[in-house]
Amino acid sequence: MGDVNYRKFRQYLLEMDGLNIDDIELDEIEIDESPMGSPQPFSSDEAKIHVENDIKQMSKILGKASQQSIKIMMSGVKNHKYDAFDIQRGIVSGNVRDTHTGEREFLRMLWNKVREGFRKYSKQEKLR
In terms of residue numbers, what domain contains 70? 51-128
Residue 123 and residue 77 in one domain = yes
Residue 11 and residue 63 in one domain = no
| Cβ neighbours for 70, distance < 8 A, ≥ 6 positions apart | 110, 114
Long-range contacts of the stretch 94-100 (C-beta < 8 A, 24+) = none
pLDDT < 70 stretches in the chain: 1-7, 10, 20-38, 121-128
Residue 21 and residue 64 in one domain = no
Instruction: State how many domains the chain has.
Output: 2
pLDDT digits (tens, 9 = 90+) for 1-10: 455 566 677 6
For position 28, what pLDDT does the model report?
62
Contact 127, 115 (CB under 8 A): yes
pTM, rounded to two decimals = 0.59
| Cβ neighbours for 21, distance < 8 A, ≥ 6 positions apart | 11, 14, 15, 29
